[in-house]
Amino acid sequence: MNLSSRKTMWKVAALSVAVLTAVTACGSGDSGEGGGGEGGKTTITFAYWGSDARQKLTEQVIAKFEEKNPTIDVEGDFSNWDSYYEKLATKVAANDAPDVLSIEIRGLSEYAGRGALADLAGKVPTADLDQQVLASGQVDGKQYAIPTGVNAFSMVANTAALEKAKKELPKDTDWTWDQWMALAQEISGAGGVTGAEYNFNPAFLQIYAAQRGEKFYDGNKIGVSPDTLKSWWAIHQKLIETKGSPDAAKSAEIGATGPEQSLLGTNAGAMGMWWSNQLNALTESSGSEMTLLRMPKLEGATTGGMFLQPAMFYAASAKSEHSAEGAKLIDFLVNDPEAAAILLSDRGLPTNTKVLDAVKTKLPETDQKTLAFIDEVRSELSPIQVPPKGALEMEDILKRNSEEVMFGRATPDAAAQKFLTEANAAIAG
């Protein structure tokens, strides 16, 4: 998201609605089309974000749904990541929310708390879904969202780049951050590719904080200490100093892109941190073999800190006039093997065990790797927790304060206090 405050986001949404309402009042009136499709069909909208590759897959799965449900037309409402929630907030504020929408776990409490989402309990069959993962879509005991699939924030390595630098894949069951940084430095020093790319995804900090015995969210406040923030930033700083990663300016430029334009995705880097379901995009864009690894640990840490998380959720508008059709689309997306055969692991590996079994042998090599990795580390992963309201702002707040440190515009002490102040204020609302 580009907006730094959810209050600002909703104010902008309300202002946009006011402007649109005024413009509409000057127009020629209602077109009379309503929610009907051609030939008496019902038309529903489905909002989602992602890459060009995801858009193509989604168009294919929509076509398959329409083929199996000839009385329903689905209009895909695609956005890139940066504009998705701003656009969604505007539509929700205008009472024009999409019938079915994609939402990530960070936005679940926000939209459920605003009464924007319908309770899907009893409306979408969920008996075959992983019940622990399913529970992550609940807020205050109501099932506001259905998980699309699961993934884990992990280290990804380009095996060819490691071989070129004459380095072996690390033993990821016990490697440390110091070893990772040293390996990145050695790879960069060998020439050809950069050892690692870092990022400021809150998932990285959450994992690192857990290794220090801290929670990212401790109830309705941030549980990360200033010392942990400073220690975490020191990793990024050391990578830059040792040339294990690009400098702050280049890293900021790369960080504004997706997996296809990353160092890994362009064969310019050997290691990077990504969600496990992004392995396919990284592999396809680079044309190189990629391997998922556990995140490194702090020396002496009793937990790796990695956690299982829904890649995203499907939810329905509380004000949809076509709730039955919307529920049918969600049912198809999560429970139909034909949908899974199209989407594969794009939105995480299916949480429906029967669907996963049905498509397991059809998964391409990259998705087989993702499945094997999740199975291998599942017992080590922390339970899923729904973050509080304001979580949508965390990535922007963390990135902004992190870059202040990396560019030397703020001391780690000052940036840590500023991050905690801003993050806690976002949660408080």
pLDDT value of position 364: 87
Confidence check: pLDDT of 316 > 70: yes
Confidence check: pLDDT of 336 > 70: yes
pLDDT value of position 38: 63
The mean pLDDT of 115-139, rounded to a whole number, is 96
pLDDT value of position 290: 95
Query: Do the bridges between strand 42-49 and strand 72-79 make them parallel or antiparallel, or are there none, so unpaired?
Result: parallel
Task: Provide the percentage of residues in the chain whose pLDDT is more than 70.
Answer: 91
In DSSP terms, which residues pair with 316 in a beta bridge?
100
Q: What is the pLDDT of residues 235-282, one digit of tens each?
A: 999 999 999 999 999 999 998 888 889 999 999 999 999 999 899 889
d(CA 37, CA 57): 23
- Pure H helices in 130-269: 131-135, 159-164, 177-189, 202-211, 226-241, 248-255
Any idea which architecture 151-308+390-428 has in CATH?
A: 3-Layer(aba) Sandwich (3.40)
Provide the angle, in degrees to the nearest 10, between the axes of the packed helices 177-189 and 226-241. 20
| Maximum alpha-carbon separation in the chain | 70
d(CA 392, CA 268): 30
Does the domain at 6-17+34-148+312-372 match CATH 3.40.50.300? Answer given as: no
d(CA 264, CA 187): 13
Q: What is the pLDDT of residues 129-181, one digit of tens each?
A: 999 899 999 999 999 999 999 999 999 999 999 998 999 999 999 999 999 99
In degrees and rounded to multiples of 5, residue 292 shows phi and psi of -85, 135
The mean pLDDT of 80-106, rounded to a whole number, is 94
**Whole-model pTM?**
0.85
Q: What is the mean pLDDT of the chain?
A: 90
Q: What is the pLDDT of residues 384-410, one digit of tens each?
A: 888 999 999 999 999 999 999 999 999
Helices (H) and strands (E) in the chain, counts: 17, 12
**DSSP state for residue 379 in the 8-state scheme:** G
* All CATH 3.40.190.10 domain ranges in the chain, comma separated: 6-17+34-148+312-372, 151-308+390-428
